[in-house]
Structure formats: C-alpha cells, structure tokens
A = this chain, B = another copy of it.
C-alpha cells in the first residue's frame, strides 16, 4: 500500500481500502498518523465519518453547520481506544494536541471518493469553503493509467 505525507510535514496517510485504489463503492478506510502538534485542515464533507483512535491522544475541534459560519468550535478530547463520529456536514479539525506522542487513527468514510470543503478559519462562511476534489490521496489514483484496455 502507498504511504505518503502529501506535502504535510509530520503526517502520514495510507488508504487501506479505497474507492479508486481497491474498487470500494460504499465505504473507504484510511490509516493516518499525526505527529505532535499536527492538524488536519478545518473542513467539512457530506458523508459519514468514524474515527477509531489506535494510538496517542488529541483533540477534535467541532464547529456547527447551523449558522452562517462554523463559529467557535467545541474542543473534545480523544484518546487511545476511543471512537468518535463526525456529524454530516459539520466543520471539524483533528488535532494531535499532545506534545510528545504520535496520534494514529483509522478513519472510515461513506460515499467515497471524498469531497472535502476547506475553511481558512472558523469564521469563514460555509458558502466560501473551497472544494478540493479529488483530494490529495485520490489524485494519485486518478492520474494513474487505467487497467482496462
């Protein structure tokens, strides 16, 4: 399986079962590792998402989809062997808020490949969030030559 940091220092992503890489149609599974202090972008998506924390601990920052912009996020501690789910369309950010240990998570999404809308900050209106599609790890597969003749 292909592992890369996709240009993000202190980050690692592997698609362990994916739509483009393995023909999944309904679910996709990733293994991601965040070094101390590392974060995902603030983002939202209209699919379901489940995180299972395999190692380390961190913080889930969770905004709201009910107002014009995400607003001040809730800070939810996450830790080894915990599971958390992201409400559909809620802006969120996963942050390894620990200073020493890596945070390793299995991520499960529905409706792959993922369509991610990225926010510059928590006060950006939902309508201004920018679609990044295909997402970085899906670009590899889309640009690869097809198997079929």
By a beta-carbon cutoff of 8 Å, the part of chain A in contact with chain B is 16-17, 22, 24-27, 29, 47-48, 50, 52, 54, 83, 85, 106, 108-111
CB pairs A–B below 8 angstroms (17 shown): A16-B50, A16-B83, A17-B50, A17-B108, A24-B50, A26-B27, A26-B47, A26-B48, A26-B110, A26-B111, A27-B48, A27-B109, A27-B110, A29-B50, A52-B106, A106-B106, A110-B110
**Assembled-state Cα–Cα distance A110/B29 (Å):** 12
**Assembled-state Cα–Cα distance A145/B50 (Å):** 26
**Assembled-state Cα–Cα distance A111/B111 (Å):** 11
Question: Are the CB atoms of A24 and B48 closer together than 8 Å?
Answer: yes
The distance from the CB of A103 to the nearest CB of chain B, in whole angstroms, is 17
**Assembled-state Cα–Cα distance A85/B23 (Å):** 10
Question: Are the CB atoms of A29 and B52 closer together than 8 Å?
Answer: yes
Contacts A16-B52, A17-B50, A50-B17; A27 near B83 (Cβ below 8 A): no
Q: Which of A16, A22, A52, A108 counts the most B-chain CB atoms under 10 A from its CB? A: A108
